[in-house]
Amino acid sequence: MLQLSGTVMALMIDGAPEGILVCDARQPDHPVVYANPAFERFSGYSSGELLGRNPRLLHGADTDQEGSRRLRDCIASGEGGRVTLRNYRKDGSMRWAEIQVQPLRDEGGALSHFVAYYRDVSDRIKSPERPAEQQPASGREDRVSGLLSRSWFEELMARDWATARREERPLTLVLFHIESLDRYAETFGPGAADAVVRRIARLISLSFRRGVDVVGRWDAACVAVLAGPVIPEGIAAYVQTVVQRVADLRIHHPHAVGPKFITVSAGVATRVPTRDDTDSGPLVREAEAALPGR
């Protein structure tokens, strides 16, 4: 294996095209201990202005973002994750960033730092009619579940599909369908059904927390997960574990078929895009066909 000196590694990080932050996980509020030049350009802050402060500095007053909540959950559990957030430069202008956070551990296995990679995606998150910074949050987040909206999920899936097609690697789509949710809503009311959706959405989101995973609401009773690259046999077994976790919540449902609790079924499809696969339609159709009873 190629061994690189500390000097070479430092030059690589300093010269990286994406912003990189390192935060100390052992100190309260996880202060920044390193910011590379690309992050300085992205944020408008100098390294000296960032050191000792928490990266939420870039969120300004815009703290009620679903991505912020997911990021806090990742950090609290000492795990990595990927989110997309509105960030505000020193001059007040807004930029979208795709942020991937990874934990670093010392030789004893104890969490020591978090490293965050910032990619400016402002040009991608926009419509022809309206700049991204003026788009309503409802276009990106599902209000009921707190997950990504169907439209935003599909946009990210299209991006990952193009990458997988170029790199000839697999993508896996999982659809989790909440069984008899309509009957639950008829019995207990729409508000109670929404609460069930939120609870299950959170469980599924927490079950797929890698930086490469994307979780969104597919339809009223369905949560979608784009997981890749993974070993198909491994993901199938893990999906069944998640299905059991939902059953273990034991949410009472008097009109459920079988055990009188809320359950989910799952459809899993894995595909390596070919040159003829111009979009993710085949993957979606395979996942939908794999749902029991479809």
pLDDT value, residue 233: 67
pLDDT value, residue 50: 93
Q: Confirm whether 6-135 and 150-290 share one CATH topology.
A: no
Question: Looking up tokens 């993901």, which residue turns up?
Answer: 235
- Max Cα–Cα distance, the chain, nearest Å: 65
**Cβ 179 vs Cβ 292: under 8 Å:** no
pLDDT value, residue 126: 46
The arithmetic mean of pLDDT across residues 37-42, rounded, is 92
pLDDT value, residue 9: 65
- CA–CA distance, 29 with 48 (Å, rounded to integer): 18
Work out the pLDDT band at 66, boundaries 50, 70, 90.
Answer: confident
Q: At what angle do helices 190-207 and 232-248 cross, to 10 degrees?
A: 140
- CA–CA distance, 131 with 123 (Å, rounded to integer): 9
Could you report the per-residue pLDDT of 271-287, keeping only the tens digit for each?
Answer: 888 888 888 889 999 99
Measure Cα distances from 194 to 4, 181, 190, 199, 281 in Å. Answer: 52, 9, 6, 9, 28
Q: At what angle do helices 181-188 and 190-207 cross, to 10 degrees?
A: 140
**Cβ 216 vs Cβ 152: under 8 Å:** yes
Strand runs labelled E in 109-247: 111-120, 171-178, 214-219, 222-227
Domain ranges (residues) in the chain: 6-135, 150-290
Question: Cis peptide leading into 292, omega within 30 of 0?
Answer: no
Give the domain 6-135 fold.
Beta-Lactamase (3.30.450)
Could you report the per-residue pLDDT of 107-164, keeping only the tens digit for each?
Answer: 888 999 999 999 888 776 643 333 344 444 445 788 888 888 888 888 888 888 888 8
Could you report the per-residue pLDDT of 243-269, keeping only the tens digit for each?
Answer: 999 999 999 998 887 788 999 999 999
Question: What CATH code would you report for 150-290?
Answer: 3.30.70.270
